[in-house]
Structure 1
Amino acid sequence: MNMQERLDRINELYRKSKAEGLTTAEKEEQDKLRKEYVKIFRENLRGSLETIKIQNPDGSIIDVKERHDEKMKLKAKKELEEAKKNGN
């Protein structure tokens, strides 16, 4: 089942659930399809984000993932320093 077919079936089950309700099997199918859809969507988004490059003000080019990792390290360092400052 391709992405569009999956989405069409999710929508069909949603409309049916509002109109007349779903059987247990249909509810299970709906849940399974939604989980598959979200998983595929996240994988596609992650793949797209991994190909994006950012140009820093100094002209250097960096991957989005590298930039994110740098920001997370700085944030963790800042939180650690603040915790030490507050005596935690």
Structure 2
Amino acid sequence: MLSKEKIARINALSKKSKSQGLTNEETQEQKALREEYINTFRASMENTLHSVTIVDPEGNDVTPEKLKEQKKNLKH
């Protein structure tokens, strides 16, 4: 998870971008922070998916084989 300070900085840069524009340094900082945020989000989502089992209404495990393989590889 990204720190509260970094999220606040992303929001501040976004607000400034809309109101008065950003310097080149601020634009680069915003780009780096957004990339870090997206990478953190993707890693979190991947971890969530690896802990999910999909079950149909009859109670059968219908988790896709690709996901089952990824789960198995993580355990080893």
TM-score, normalising length: structure 2: 0.72
Aligned residue for 2:70?
none
5+ residue gaps in structure 1? 71-88
Q: Say which SS state the counterpart of residue 52 (structure 1) adopts.
A: coil
Greater percentage in strand: 1
Q: Is the 8 A contact 1:3 1:37 kept in 2?
A: no
- Residue number in structure 2 paired with 1:86: none
**Matched residue SS, 2:22:** coil
- Map 1:7-86 onto structure 2 (within 5 A): 7-56=7-56, 59-61=59-61, 63=63, 67=64, 69=66
Please say which structure displays the higher CA radius of gyration: 1
Question: Which runs of 4 or more aligned residues in structure 1 lie more than 6 Å from their structure 2 counterparts after TM superposition?
Answer: none
Identity of aligned residues (%): 36
Unaligned runs of 5+ in 2: 68-76
Query: CA contact under 8 A between 1:10 and 1:33: conserved in structure 2?
Result: yes
Distance in 2 between residues matched to 1:21 and 1:68, nearest whole Å: 48
Q: For each residue in 1:24-55, what CA deviation from the matched residue of structure 2 results, as whole angstroms up to 9, or x when unmatched?
A: 10000000000000000000000001100112
Bigger shift: 5-14 or 41-50?
A: 5-14
- The CA RMSD measured in Å over matched residues stands at 2.1
Q: Which structure's relative contact order is higher, taking Cα pairs within 8 Å and 6+ residues apart?
A: 2
TM (norm. structure 1) is 0.63
Q: Distance in 1 between matches of 2:49 and 2:65?
A: 11
State how many pairs are aligned.
66
